[in-house]
Structure formats: structure tokens, C-alpha cells
């Protein structure tokens, strides 16, 4: 069978491991041939591709980024964009397509499936906010990077009697913030799901310092929102992308100023940004990404189109693409309980009210 592969949306450690696994299993076990479409859906709209064989995927398992490159191109926003994608698939004799991406990429995959394209999805995002699956690959790597950063920030915060605000990624969901906040022992964790009262955060920090601690670590997701005074998340401005997303960023600095003003404690900000998305995937993400790649190629040969490989429990299953798109998977009560479980009641009241 001739199969196309593309990677769309923000890059994510483990993309190359998915590509490698699909190409290896397809070549060894099914006699498949592959074509890699470049730069996400742009490759299909503009017919840009590269040969994808065993040689092309040799040595890419530990490499971050994606050998196919990526973009946030949305064919549905371009004149005849979806039809151009279909024409490109025909011209390249592609019988089935594996689309590796998050909500945006998979929403385009769903539209193409509705037009008759045989497509299988693989869930990707460091934010871990895709519905239909327990975990996306790339998330574990991001959490490990942030945890190491929080550990480092701890020692300098302690040395200087400072409050350190660590801004992490997480547009609609606070998975990275809550996991790394717990694993790094943060004192306050702020997530997009729960707008926060900055007076209460300041009160908690003052209370902590009054009880003899002289530094505090605050982890804040880029999409977290002040409960009062401002509307929505802090944005960097600029154009919306083709899927309608604004560029987030800046809450760390705004929050640091507000906390310093309210507490009188010297406060600094660390914005981790794209460092969270770069570099080599963790062993966990390499294995998960490999299992997704294997799952996807098996789904193609079982004819399970319009579906996405998904992790449920510890099994790779397939779920309808429609289950993965539309609504984000936000931080659940169990994780919130875990974050609150390690706080005293008086500390909980200070943040949650």
C-alpha cells in the first residue's frame, strides 16, 4: 500500500519516533511504501513532499522536531484547500494518510475523511489536552524539562529570598503546570481551568513567609486567567493563526509585578517557552510515540479510517476522530485533588477560597 504521512501544528518531541515506527512496520510487515508531506497540511495544499523510506528514518528516534517539518496551515481556510489536498493525494498515488497532530490538524483530517479520504490520526501535543486519549506524546518530555527548571529555580530562589514565577505552556489546559508543579514541589500552581484571585495568591505567599519560609515558587500556565480586572488570558498580540488562535504569553511577568506589589517580596519571572518543545524525547515519549506509530499503521491495514490511535489505560486502541476534536481535555478533579492533597487546609483556603 502507498501511504502518506504528515506532521501538523506545533512541533513536539516524539514526532520522529512516530514516523520511524510507522515506516519500519509498514516496510517490514506490510510491504508498504511511503511519502512524507512537508510542513503539515501545506504539503498537501502545495504538493510538497519527500521520499520516506527506511534510510530516511534511520537515526531519527532520539531527534526532536520533525523531519517532515510542520506548520499551522489550515486548508479549510484556503480557496479549494481541501480539494487541493485530495488532488495531491491522487497525484502521489496515496491510498491512505496518517496525520500526526493535535486538535487543529485532526479537525482537518476529519473534514478530509468526510470527503472520502482514508485517513488515520495520531494524537500529538505537549499540552496533553486532546480528548479521546489518556496521554499525548511530548507531554512527558515537557514535564521533565519544566521539573528540572523548577529544581534549578528553587536553589536560586532560596539563595535570594525571592518569589520565582515560572511560566509554562498550556493554552487551554493546565496539565504541564499541574504535573510539573507537583513534581517540582511548587507552592502555588495556576491553571487556565480555574481563574485565580491574585490577592489570595499573595496572601498565601505572605502566610508562608510569615511561617518562616523565605522563598516561594509559583508555576503559572500561559493560559491562566486573573479572576477579576482583566478579561481572558494575557496575550502577546499579533495576528491570529489560521485556526483562530492568538499568541499567548506574558502572564508570568504581569503576575510577578502584582505579587511583588502586594507582598513586598522581591519577585522574578522565568518564561520557559519553546524550550519545553525542543530537544530529545524522554524514554517514555519514545516508547509511547513508537506505539502510536505502530498502532496507526495497523489501523490503516485493518481499514479503521476516520479514527485516531489512542492510549486508554495502557493499551493502544482506536477511537473516532470526532471524539478527539472539538473539546479540549482539561485537568480533571483527580489531578486537582492531588495538587490540593499536599496542601494544608489553611493553604488551600488561601488560594482556592
Which of 100, 108, 126, 270 touches ligand F6P by CB under 6 A?
126
| Residue placing its CB nearer to ligand F6P in the complex, 110 or 125 | 125
Q: What angle do CA 105, 180, 330 make, to 5 degrees?
A: 45
Question: Does position 14 bind ligand F6P by CB under 6 A?
Answer: no
Q: Using CA of residue 82, residue 88, residue 90, residue 92, what is the dihedral sign?
A: negative
Instruction: Write down the least CB distance from residue 187 to ligand F6P, Å.
Output: 23
Burial of 315 by CB count in 10 Å (0-12 exposed, 13-18 middle, 19+ buried)? exposed
> Which grid coordinates belong to 186?
511548587
Span near ligand F6P by CB under 6 A; candidates 45-53, 86-94, 123-131, 316-324: 123-131
Residue 127 annotated in active site: yes
CA pair distance 196, 352, nearest whole angstrom: 8
Q: Looking at residues 91 to 110 of the shown chain, list those that interact with ligand F6P (rule: CB under 6 A).
A: 102
Rounded-to-integer distance, Cα 269 and Cα 257, Å: 9
Cα separations (Å) of 85 from 4, 69, 104? 12, 17, 16
The answer for residues whose C-beta is within 8 angstroms of residue 16's C-beta and 6 or more apart is 57, 60, 61, 63, 64, 65, 66, 67
Q: Is 169 in the site for ligand F6P (CB under 6 A)?
A: yes
Q: How far is CA 231 from the centre of its chain?
A: 24
**Is residue 248 near ligand F6P by the rule CB under 6 A?**
yes
Rounded least distance, CB 341 to ligand F6P, Å: 26
Q: Please report how close the Cβ of residue 297 comes to ligand F6P at its closest, in angstroms.
A: 25
Kindly tell me which of 116 and 238 has the beta carbon lying closer to ligand F6P: 238
Task: Measure the CA dihedral 116/117/122/128, to 10°.
Answer: -60
Q: How far is the CB of 291 from ligand F6P (least distance, A)?
A: 21
Residue nearest to ligand F6P (CB): 169
Q: C-alpha cell of 37?
A: 508531506
Q: Which is nearer to ligand F6P, 10 or 64 (CB)?
A: 10
Residue (32 or 222) nearer to ligand F6P, CB: 222
Taking the C-alpha atoms of residue 180 and residue 168, their distance in angstroms, rounded to an integer, is 9
Does 220 help bind ligand F6P (rule: CB under 6 A)?
Answer: no
Q: Does 173 bind ligand F6P (CB under 6 A)?
A: no
Determine, following the binding rule CB under 6 A, whether residue 125 of this chain makes contact with ligand F6P.
Answer: yes
Residue whose CB is less far from ligand F6P, 71 or 318: 71
What is the smallest separation between the CB atom of 252 and ligand F6P, expressed in angstroms? Answer: 13
C-alpha span between 333 and 152 (Å, rounded): 29
| Contact letters for ligand F6P, residues 266-305 (x by CB under 6 A) | -----------x----------------------------
Choose the catalytic residue: 32, 127, 129, 187. 127
- State yes or no: residue 171 binds ligand F6P (CB under 6 A): yes
Whether 177 and 213 have beta carbons less than 8 Å apart is answered as: no
Compute the distance between CA of residue 31 and CA of residue 244 in angstroms, rounded to an integer: 40
Distance CA 6, CA 126 (A): 17
Candidate ranges 40-48, 73-81, 120-128, 309-317; the one touching ligand F6P (CB under 6 A): 120-128
The residue range among 37-45, 112-120, 166-174, 255-263 that interacts with ligand F6P, by the rule CB under 6 A, is: 166-174
Residue 174 found at the interface with ligand F6P (CB under 6 A): no
Supply the minimum distance, in Å, between the C-beta of residue 292 and ligand F6P. 17
Binding site for ligand F6P (CB under 6 A): 9-10, 102, 125-127, 169-171, 222, 247-248, 277
Catalytic residues: 127
Amino acid at each position: 500500500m502507498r501511504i502518506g504521512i504528515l506532521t501538523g501544528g506545533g512541533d513536539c518531541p516524539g514526532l520522529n519516533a512516530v514516523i520511524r515506527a510507522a515506516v519500519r512496520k509498514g516496510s517490514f510487515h506490510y510491504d508498504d511504501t511511503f511519502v512524507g508531506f512537508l510542513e503539515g497540511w501545506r504539503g498537501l495544499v502545495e504538493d510538497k513532499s519527500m521520499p520516506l523510506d527506511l534510510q530516511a528514518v534511520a537515526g531519527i528516534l532520539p531527534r526532536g522536531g520533525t523531519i517532515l517539518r510542520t506548520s499551522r496551515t489550515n486548508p479549510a481556510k484556503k480557496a479549494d484547500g481541501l480539494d487541493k489536498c485530495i488532488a495531491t493525494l491522487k497525484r502521489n498515488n496515496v491510498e491512505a494518510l496518517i496525520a500526526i497532530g493535535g486538535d487543529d490538524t485532526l479537525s482537518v483530517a476529519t473534514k478530509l475523511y468526510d470527503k472520502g479520504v482514508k485517513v488515520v490520526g495520531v494524537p500529538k501535543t505537549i499540552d496533553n489536552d486532546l480528548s479521546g486519549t489518556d496521554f499525548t506524546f511530548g507531554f512527558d518530555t515537557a514535564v521533565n524539562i519544566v521539573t528540572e527548571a523548577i529544581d534549578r529555580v528553587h536553589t536560586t530562589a532560596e539563595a535570594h529570598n525571592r518569589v520565582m514565577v515560572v511560566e509554562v505552556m498550556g493554552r487551554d489546559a493546565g496539565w504541564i503546570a499541574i504535573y510539573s508543579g507537583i513534581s517540582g514541589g511548587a507552592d502555588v500552581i495556576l491553571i487556565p481551568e480555574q481563574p485565580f484571585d491574585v490577592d489570595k495568591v499573595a496572601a498565601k505567599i505572605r502566610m508562608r513567609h510569615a511561617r518562616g519560609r523565605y522563598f516561594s515558587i509559583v508555576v503559572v500556565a500561559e493560559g491562566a486567567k486573573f479572576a477579576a480586572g482583566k478579561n481572558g488570558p494575557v496575550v502577546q498580540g499579533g495576528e491570529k493563526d489560521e485556526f483562530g488562535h492568538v499568541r499567548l504569553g506574558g502572564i508570568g511577568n504581569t503576575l510577578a509585578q502584582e505579587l511583588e506589589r502586594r507582598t513586598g517580596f522581591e519577585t522574578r519571572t522565568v518564561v520557559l517557552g519553546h524550550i519545553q518543545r525542543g530537544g530529545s524525547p524522554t524514554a517514555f515519549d519514545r516508547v509511547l510515540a513508537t506505539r502510536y506509530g505502530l498502532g496507526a499503521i495497523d489501523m490503516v491495514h485493518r481499514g479503521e479510517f476516520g479514527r485516531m490511535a489512542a492510549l486508554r489505560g495502557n493499551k493502544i486502541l482506536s477511537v473516532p476522530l470526532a471524539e478527539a476534536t472539538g473539546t479540549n481535555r482539561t485537568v480533571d478533579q483527580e489531578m486537582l485533588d492531588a495538587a490540593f492533597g499536599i496542601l494544608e487546609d489553611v493553604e488551600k483556603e488561601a488560594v482556592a477560597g
